[in-house]
Amino acid sequence: MRARIYPLALGKILHHTISNINQEVAGLMIGKVTSDAVEVWDTVTGLQQSSPAYVKLEESVMALVAEVLMENRPDLYIVGWYHSHPGLNVFMSPIDVETQKVYQTMFPKAIALVIDPVQFSVSWKVSDLKIGVFRLDKNGKVVPVRFTLGLQRHKVLESTLIGLQMLDLIPQKHDNTDDGNVRVSTAKMLDIDHIVKFFSKTKKLLTSKKG
């Protein structure tokens, strides 16, 4: 099995992780499974506990995203999660393995993307991008998943439009807590009406493009 990551999804992962370079941050990857690959079309993040070497995404984020997708885009689902290891390199820690087990229990083809954005954030050279995609085999052993960046024109457009509508899904702001951890909190309630409108607008646009 391979993974195909579309440019907007990768861009959002880079933006999220580079703008929080001193903390581990995490988010969900949204996409679909084709005959040959797990495709990552978009990402979304939300409430999480994070420190320089630990991050935990609140379960409510997954439930909320799953519900919005089921109601509006049943063809897309949560295909895994991403998180950063700033300056620590790319690997699956014992806690990451436990987290991945949960994802694979819910969705057997779930993948985990780990990124160390520090070197890239300085040089902005693609060759300095440290990214790994992993999953667990039948015995619970971590195996790397080969990944490519998707370049099919229609899918790039479609995933970009989906990504744009997801931007508003979970607005966030960062607060410093007493223990020095950064708490990423939801700044305002989710406006379902707004999202539904956006989804139907995009659907119309894509249908007319397909001709």
- Residues in contact with Zn ion by the rule CB under 5 A: 93, 96
Distance CA 146, CA 37 (A): 10
How many other β-carbons are positioned within 10 Å of the β-carbon of residue 144? 11
- Name the residue number minimizing CB distance to Zn ion: 96
Q: Kindly tell me which of 93 and 202 has the beta carbon lying closer to Zn ion.
A: 93
Minimum distance from residue 181 beta carbon to Zn ion (Å): 16
Distance CA 59, CA 133 (A): 22
Distance CA 160, CA 101 (A): 29
Minimum distance from residue 98 beta carbon to Zn ion (Å): 11
DSSP state of 126: G
Distance CA 159, CA 131 (A): 20
Q: Kindly tell me which of 141 and 210 has the beta carbon lying closer to Zn ion.
A: 141
Minimum distance from residue 93 beta carbon to Zn ion (Å): 5
Residue 9's H or E segment, with its range, is helix 7-18
Q: Kindly tell me which of 42 and 96 has the beta carbon lying closer to Zn ion.
A: 96
Q: Of the candidates 208, 196, 210, which has an alpha carbon nearest to the alpha carbon of residue 70?
A: 196
Q: Kindly tell me which of 93 and 104 has the beta carbon lying closer to Zn ion.
A: 93
Q: Kindly tell me which of 86 and 150 has the beta carbon lying closer to Zn ion.
A: 86
Q: Where are the beta strands (DSSP E) in 10-150?
A: 26-33, 37-44, 48-51, 54-57, 77-84, 111-116, 130-136, 142-144, 146-149
Exposure pattern of 107-133 as b/e (b: 16+ CB <10 Å)? Answer: eeebbbbbbbbbebeeeeeeeeebbbb
Q: Kindly tell me which of 102 and 187 has the beta carbon lying closer to Zn ion.
A: 102
Minimum distance from residue 55 beta carbon to Zn ion (Å): 7
Distances (CA, A) of 140 to 85, 96, 135: 22, 12, 9
